[in-house]
Amino acid sequence: MPYKINEYENISVIKIAVRGRNLEQFFTDAFLGTLYLMKPFQKFTTEKTEREIFIEAIDATSLLVQFLNEVLSMARSNKESYNNIIFYKIQPTSLRAKLFAVSVESFHREINTLDYHNAEVRQVEGGAWETTIIFNQ
């Protein structure tokens, strides 16, 4: 598994540790981990939707938080889950991507926010990227 989930007795807090060999893999794994946490109840439909997303930020931490918050917001408002992503451009301060969506009935878990204060995206020896993300329900 490209991410590690730590749930606590306080069920309103969930942590995910994410590590990727490069920036694209890192963002992909954070994206997949976030969607896994939501546990969508999928509709039986062949209808698929594509969504474009473009984000700019001051640093990699801000970019990740804004990206995941946008994914959460779009998933809730459109009642869809994303099963794939293609990054057209990804740098530590900007990204442009296409998300592939399927309709969902609802989500088993409502994720409200990411805790920005404890997030710190860092590049480690060997060029890998890592962070721990704290989600509040």
CATH 1.10.1380.10 assigned to 3-136: no
Higher pLDDT: 137 or 106? It is: 106
51-80 pLDDT per residue, tens:
999 999 999 999 999 999 999 989 888 888
Give residue 111's Cα distance to chain centre: 11
77-125 pLDDT per residue, tens:
888 888 899 999 999 999 999 999 988 887 877 776 777 667 889 999 8
3-45 pLDDT per residue, tens:
666 655 456 778 889 999 999 999 999 999 888 888 776 766 6
Q: Under 8 Å CB-to-CB from 7, ≥6 apart: which residues?
A: 14
Q: Report the DSSP beta bridge partners of residue 20.
A: 129
Q: What residue ranges do the domains of the chain occupy?
A: 3-136
b/e burial code for range 63-79 (CB count within 10 A of at least 16 → b): bbbbbbbebbeebeeee
Report the amino acid identity of residue 112. Answer: N
- pTM higher than the cut 0.85: yes
Q: Under 8 Å CB-to-CB from 18, ≥6 apart: which residues?
A: 2, 3, 26, 29, 30, 33, 130, 131, 132, 133
